[in-house]
Amino acid sequence: MADPVSGAGEPRVRALFATPVIAEIWQEAPRWNAALKAAILARSGQDRGVSKSNLHGWQSGTDLDRWGGEAALALRDHALERAREFAVDAFAGTREIAWIAEMWANVSRRGAANQTHAHPGSFWSMVYYVDDGYAGSHDKLLGGELSFLDPRFPMVRMAAPDLRYRRDDGSVDNQEVWMRPRAGLVVMFPSWLMHSVRPYAGQGTRISIAINILARDA
C-alpha cells in the first residue's frame, strides 16, 4: 500500500478508487468510417430497430458484427484488444477469460437523446463515433454530449447539496462530466457507470456504435 503522505507541507488530496474512462482516436477511422456509415444507414432504412435507452433515434439489434462487414469486425477486434489491455485478472494463471463483444448502431437526428442508463452483465462498455453530426462546427449549443454521472451521486450531496469536493489541482469535483463527440473517437468505460446522451440540436445525422464487452470463463 502506498504511503498517503509524501513529506511535510500542505495536505495532499489523493483520488482513491478512481473510475477508469479511456478515450482515444481510432487510427483506423479514416479507413473504415465510410463503410460503417453506408452499412448503418442502409440497415436503418430497412429495419425498424429497437427502443431501449434511445429517444427519437434509431437503434439496431446487438448483431452489428453480423451485417456491418469487415469494418464492423475491425472495430470489434479493436474493442476486444482494449478490453484485455485495461483489465487485470487477479487470478492470472489459474483460469482463462473469454472476452465477448455485443455491438449495435445508433442513428440520431435533431431532438434525439439517450436516457440515463447502465449496461448490466457487461464488464466494459464502449461508444465509437462514426459521424458526430457537427459538420465541423464547434457550437456548444448543438448538444449531443456523452454524459457520465458520478457513481457516488446522490450520496455525496445528501447532507450539503450545494457543496462539492476540491481536487488536488483546486478544481471542482463535479457530479457530472460531459464529453463532446468527435468522428473517430472511442470511449471505453465500466459498464456499471451511469451515462446518457444529451439532446442533439443540430441538423446533421449522428452515427455511433455501442459495444458491450462481456468477460466469461473460457
How confident is the model over 97-137, as pLDDT tens digits?
899 999 999 999 999 999 999 999 999 999 999 999 999 99
The label of the residue with cell 468477460 reads: 215
User: Domain with 79 in it: what CATH number?
Assistant: 2.60.120.620
Print the domain residue range for 124.
Answer: 22-87+96-154+171-217
Please give the tally of structural domains in the chain: 1
Residues of 33-65 as b/e, b for ≥16 C-beta within 10 angstroms?
Answer: bebbbebbbebbeeeebeeebbeebbbbebebb
The answer to whether position 183 is within a domain reads yes
The answer to whether position 11 is within a domain reads no
- Nearest CA to 187 out of 115, 124, 96 is that of 124
The answer to whether position 101 is within a domain reads yes
Q: Return the pLDDT at 203.
A: 95
The answer to whether position 197 is within a domain reads yes
The answer to whether position 7 is within a domain reads no
Q: Return the pLDDT at 158.
A: 87
The answer to whether position 187 is within a domain reads yes
- Per the model's pLDDT, the better-predicted residue between 168 and 6 turns out to be 168
Q: Return the pLDDT at 1.
A: 52
The answer to whether position 111 is within a domain reads yes
Cell numbers representing residue 149 in the block: 454521472
Q: Determine if the pTM surpasses 0.75.
A: yes
Residue 49 to residue 31: CA distance in whole angstroms? 27
The answer to whether position 122 is within a domain reads yes
Average pLDDT over residues 155-168: 86
Model confidence band, residue 2 (pLDDT cutoffs 50, 70, 90): low
